[in-house]
Structure 1
Amino acid sequence: MSVPGITVERDRETGVAVVTLDRAAKHNAITLEMARGLSAVWRGFRYEDEIRAIVVTGAGGRAFCTGVDRSAEVPQPSSPYTIDDPLLTIGPKANDLWKPVVAAVEGMACGGAFYLLGEAEFLVAGEDATFFDPHTTYGMVSAFETVHMAQRMPFGEVARMALMGGAERISARRAHETGLVSELTPPGGALAAALAAAGVIAGHPTEAVQGTVRALWSVREAARAQALAHAPHLVALGNLPPDRQAELFDGRSTGHRVR
């Protein structure tokens, strides 16, 4: 299956596949078609026994992903108790895939990118990568993103990132210090390092690896599922109307602080 904006490469000799968000000109923002395609890609990997580990990355080096494409129109139900979120199933765990996934991050990773990063086993990042969550800046609740990142970062760090919005970015070095990133590389080196790690993992007996992945996720699964269940209501009740969001987005300041 070919989906515009997604490239999948398989190395059947090493057992490693690479899933690339391939919209470099748009900072790898995810279209609705890409969101559906990612879900299909992850579900498809469940049936490819020769693929034993996967790397997910973004094309171009300027961004891993900047979330959902703002031009995407997503009709919403009128009930405040539910919300249609096209990114809910873009990650491997949401699609019942328990093969290990390593994220290779270069450049910006923000907002909706956290749906993917939150469901990877670990992150490798180039030293010039930055992480931030602009939701509050634009009158939007950071709910799903914050839940995903709260599984990977100290509470104070994820709270600061979410509440500061677009005014502050976390450097790759700070992300490494706080545990979000497991390995730092020189700029441009994240993919090679992630492939090397994935290759080692793919060389181990697959049943043991997948069992370990499942055990790791079971540690926090109940709390994570409960938190994610609250997210649609918080978003539906707390988001500004789309026209007000657009006003804030169009009038945004480009100034930000990296720490």
Structure 2
Amino acid sequence: MSEHPRGTLRVTVDKETGVAVVVLHRPERLNAIDLTMVAELRENWRQFRFDDAVRAVVLTGAGERAFSTGIDRDAVVPQPSSPYMQDDPLLAVGPKANDLWKPVVAAVAGMACGGAFYLLGESEFVVADTTAAFFDPHTAYGMVSAYESVLMAQRMPYGEVARMVLMGNAERMGAQRAYEIGLVSELVEPGRAVEAAVRCASVLAGYPAAAVQGTVRALWAAGEAGRAQGWAQAPHLVALGNLPGERQAELFAGRGRGEPRIR
């Protein structure tokens, strides 16, 4: 087994089982994704394409509080003035965006929200422990949930994803509800999500790699047309619907008011 600290990532590869475990490692920031992590994730996925010792991947977050809380609010991403163009760094963070077709199993404990759905949406399935909670705060901050909504609409019933992305900070989908609707495929005791995900990934890594990767590619292809159409609209919707940055910051500053309902 080899370990490779990569800045904001901790990567462990077990060459006997063929399973790599990738840990988002910014626990002090609830594993929020900054521009450094974007670059490191992209490099990591692309390296895995050429590493035949890696046949399946488990993706998780450091600590017990969060899988990831999405884009780091301190990340500065300049935007063009045209509504036809948007720079979204999270479009590059997932394995599929980087042409990796080895299976990825997400292991979730604690919060998974907002931009975390770029990663969950490009994982084959999700294992979670009972502390997991899923929500999308965009609307509460005067922002359009566009790409996240498109990805989650292919993982959840329409009414469930609509409620999650529209209710914003007011409520969170608990682990049990996420399991009931199929967003989570297996629910385990606190602290056991990575163990359960590795168990599944080890099975996948033991099968003929070409057959597994071809199946992953076929599954992704099944939803490509819908994603492409949804994402084509996303830049315009974001440009039209987002409040100015100063107003978003004001709303974000009041984020601690009231406790969200867990359902």
What TM-score bracket applies, with the shorter chain setting the length? over 0.9
Residue in 1 that maps onto 2:39: 36
Deviation of 1:245 (Å):
0.2
Aligned counterpart, 2:240: 237
SS for the counterpart of 2:54 is coil
CA distance in 1, matches of 2:127, 2:105: 7
The aligned amino acid for 2:182 is G
List runs of 5+ in structure 1 lacking aligned partners: none
Match of 1:101 in 2: 104
TM-aligned CA deviation for residue 190 of structure 1: 0.3
Give the alignment's TM-score, normalised by structure 2: 0.97
Where in structure 1 do 4 or more consecutive aligned residues deviate above 3 Å?
none
RMSD: 0.9
Q: 1:163 deviation in Å?
A: 0.5
Q: 1: CA distance between counterparts of 2:55 and 2:15? A: 9
SS of corresponding position for 1:216: helix
* Cα distance, 1:3–1:237 mapped onto 2, change above 3 Å: farther
Give unpaired runs (5+ residues) of structure 2: none
Aligned to 1:170: 173
- Are 1:187 and 2:186 counterparts? no
Instruction: Decide whether the 8 Å contact of 2:8 with 2:40 is kept in 1.
Output: no
**Which letter does structure 2 place at the counterpart of 1:258?**
I
Amino acid at match of 1:140: M
Contact 2:127 2:186 in 1 (8 A): yes
Preserved contact between residue 147 and residue 228 of structure 1 (Cα < 8 Å): yes
State yes or no: 1:248 paired with 2:251.
yes
Q: What does 1:1-259 align with in structure 2 at a 5 Å threshold?
A: 3-252=6-255, 253-259=257-263
Compute the TM-score of the two structures, normalised by the length of structure 1: 0.98
Shift of 1:118: 0.2
In structure 2, distance between residues paired with 1:142 and 1:41: 27
Amino acid in structure 2 at the alignment position of 1:141: V
Determine if contact 1:3/1:34 at 8 Å carries over to the other structure. no
Question: Aligned residues: percent identity?
Answer: 66
Per-residue CA deviation, residues 34-79 of structure 1 (Å, 9 max, x unaligned), is 0111011111110011110000000001100000110111111010
- How many residues end up aligned between the 2 structures? 259
